Structure 1
């Protein structure tokens, strides 16, 4: 080659190299610019991205970045779990060599950025566990190399567009779980021919029997999770087209009919869960042919028939749950050949016969055979079972005989329920061996004999229920060792003796039931120190004397105390027997003179004076008795006269349905009206006020009656205050009621007037035609329409406004102190009207301790500072009650609910679910569709209102402002719900 050609070639080579280097530098600069722009929209409170410097020429040294060493281009960006927030903004589209993008487990919000479609080399996209909202872009899978796509655990909504699946031939893994997606599953999903794993669970997908047309064409799929949606119809045939299917999860939908028989052809199937649907027909026999099946859950359906003898025979089964069906016959002995079996749940069927003995020789963790028709005895367990068993429920069967002694060797057992059987034996004597036992339920098990003294050797015991047996003897002092106990129930036995003082050591105790026994003596005063105690029942024993003067005891109602010899309580009628030892009096003259001088004379002299003193005492006693008798006679005559004059009013209220009413004079009473529109006849004649009154409810302060105005066609409500004999002066009563009458507000029940006598006080208010919120939430009939979210929000906002008026328009503020659904009344348009507000002012002369504990009977609604005996009542107590009311409105559940095995505290449950990110699962399903962007912040507001620290709760004025912010301003959005 000539020198000239060599020179030209060299020149071209250098130019090309310089050009490539320039392109390379430019691409690296694109990565820096793109990542810097992306960072600009991120809120990084922990400075995780501090190494990202826009002045760098290459991002390959930055944290959380992976580059291709050959090209220097960014190939992976992984920011998982860094507590980042903000938006996924512009910039990433410049990082063109990006293959892996992982932003999971952060707090990113906003919609999915459509510019992600421009990442042509992207193979893995993980945006799960964030707060992304809005819809899914139609062509998100346009990245033809995309193999992994996870958008789960966000707030994405709307339908999945059919175009979403048109270019997904390379996709291997797809997860849209835990969003709010709705509508049918597009048939275009069949275009994802390489899909191995599909998870569309926990959305609102719906569909008819043909929903699976596209799904059954995914011939390479291994796992398919469609659980917890709204899918309907039959599970269509076509599953046999999925030869590699290992997991099929369809639980929590509305499938009906029977399971398709071709499921039995899925030879690789290891996990099948179709629980919580509406399946019918006989239990499928083909289940016994699935030799590789490890997990089977068909619970919560309507399956009938018997189990095939081959079930479990392959030895692969580890989990079986068939609870809540109508399966009959015996439990197949082939289950004992499943050596790997860990969980057996057959609860709520009609299995009969005995428990297969070999079943208790397996290494089970959980066994639930409750609510069947099993007979015979409990089989002895093997050493293998002792080491593994954590939960056993054999309740509600016909089991009999002794409890195996070796049961006490279950070292890991946490839950044991043998209730509602016919054992006819003593309680297990080796309870002390249950070192990890949390729940022990032996109710109605036909147990007899004494309560074992080692019953509390398990320091972890939280629930102990032995009701309805024939237990005898005393409650052992060792009960005080149950330091973790929060429910103790020993009612309906034959227990005797005293209530042990050691019970005062149970600081976590919330529920105590000792009713229907033969307990004697006084209740230990130290039990009043149990600040967490919410419910006590000691009725129908032989107890007497003073109740503890603290805690919940002074406010216990009659139903919790009745049937004893003489307990002292303001809510009990009858004698009050003070079982207090008499003071010991020593006669100083009964002993010889210790000085020894003039002993006889001194004795006689002092004895003479002593007799003289007794004589004077007798005379004084006789005179006092005469005077007292005269006074009692005079007072009795006056009382008889007064009672005759008010007899009509008392009878009318106590038996409003009676047709025979007294017509005696009511001149002793004082009738006052604040509403000038009421007819003069009503003002002059209280008898008309009570005529044809009908009882419509009961409250803490008294019964409520409905009375009609007759010709005027107007209805009023009359409350007969049960504290009538506590307010002795009409001036006090008049002054306080007039304060209430001035509290005029659209969301407060209007006070119209009152009637006063020394023994009877009536409060007359407006009548609410739609009843109470309590009825709409918890006592609704099957024909009544459930409350929609719009109506519930309206009630919450109106209630907040009513409380704010009481708190901020009066000085001192009017504190309701007893806010709950039964005190929220609803007018024709479902506007809330708060009732019973300020009634604590009327009974202010009552002992504050009694009033405080009277309201503690409203479990779950009362602020914690009241339970701690703080007698300062301020408006923050109402804020707490409002927060509980919000939780009740959103969830449709009561603040405290008692199950067979535990106590559910609504506030605690919602708080846990919020922390776990699944709080919307507790929303009341009966109200239908609802805007999640309103419900979620309303739930958060409720938890702020129920803060344990009163000063941390907002005022009701602030609550109203927050509710207005939460409430969407778009009119048509509100009308949609």
Structure 2
């Protein structure tokens, strides 16, 4: 009886175990779960469906499988790709991940992975794509990288890798794209990379001289800028490069002449800038030629006229004492040579004359009322022309010759950067109003005088003739649903930002109310606030005129940094330095503190409302815009959580928005209110050393080398940002306290 019971128990166990074995996760899935368990934070829950109960991981987020194994077995479908970019994952990269035998594509870029690459990182010999850019990885690259013979793309940009670039990396035959930019690599650049098409080693600490055997005939892009390379460019360097290849050697310590290889001669001068001792084409700096006047060589018959003017001594020199004082020395130049010199001079003068004539015609066309560039005031008349009605305008403009007028703007620039600088040469007068002529749009775009109207200055400092404004050239800077922003350039070079506001979105229907609000905004003056110059009131639209800032918005700078960090595609725009970011934060804080001290609230602080002048000094724009037009949708990530329940803005709103931008400046990542605050706050629970180490892993890879030299200052900024984005308004500091804290930061 006992025997039978034992058999029954064994059969029962077998019945339970057999299904478990059939449904067990395959080997690749187990290795992926090891990776999942190494993740400290998954705020987007992208790994939520990674479960041990599945037979295979082929339906998991980011996982791709291919049928490679034996049919009808758990390993029939093998993991060949893991792609999880920009998922806000925090943790280290588990060594088991690289034990997946058939893994070919690994993309974990733009996350918060930290630590070093494990020694087993390149055990997956089938890997063809490794993209780990824009993380917080550090340490040396494993020398075992040469075992990944199938590797085609390697993107480790914007991390904190150190040490030398392994020679074994340059010997991989299938490698075509390599991006190691924005790290802390040092030492010599290894030769090789013969099959590589894109090689970006910029923004590191690489030193030594350029290897003459770097790259090959397949190279299309090479960037070694912002390193510490020195010495002369080897004569054979770039000799194999295609003529249309892009080469950037800027901001190093290179010296001597630039070799005359076609690929180097085809580059722009900017590709060699930042090397004061470089000379030769394409630079304008000519190389000095050693003097040989003491013993000049014979000049051949086919010498160019520029050199042939120096007489050739075909006979031994004679004793000057035997020559007669009035003896005339005959010229040794051939008649054909003299004729060549004369013809060259005539051609040169003709070219100069044509150039002067061309410049004159261009300026004449620009000054003509019939110029193809449109006058920005005619935009305001389009609807009136369609309605065949004669519009009436009240125009208010205030132009000063103050330095601030050259570097400020009242627009939100979304449509690109303009590098033109402007000067203001307008006369300054103290009339508040001036009678001018109103115009209607007739006769194919020509404006004719129609009726009397008024020119109103905002602060009574100037007078501007309307005809001058009508001839201004205008360029679209940015557009959205309710408004357009132009750059308007007067004939004297003065530039303004002109915001066009549709009547439907205007907050008032009376010109006096509009004028009162504009004057109130214009009274708030600070070096970090835009200067409002005037306004234009029309039947169908209004114009708000302010100073123009030439260097674009903070949004443009942050977007360029993120794009270049998260992609292996080369970028010509260099990221803001840590010092520049602190300067921007400090200027923003000063401007916002001044606004709050004057009992005002901006209420819509975001990166595209922060303009940068030529010295990267921030200029806050759009102050008081809610008084002039109906509110538009704002970016939720820059708005405090209490905005949903509170209709009236208060200074703590500006503090919160400032904190979000400060954290973006430090981390280089888009801020997420619900996820990042809690995650980063948890990282700060520990000793001071632990907090500093964790913070350094969050820092934008583009500034990590700068932050390493200013750890304490960066830590103060980070802690300040965390305080500013507290969910409880009463726990946030005031902007005045923020300014005091940033003033103590030494960079």
TM-score range, shorter chain: 0.3 to 0.5
Q: If the length of structure 1 is used for normalisation, what is the TM-score?
A: 0.35
Structure with bigger RCO (C-alpha 8 Å, 6+ apart) = 2
Q: If the length of structure 2 is used for normalisation, what is the TM-score?
A: 0.44
Structure 1 or 2, whichever has the larger Rg, is 1
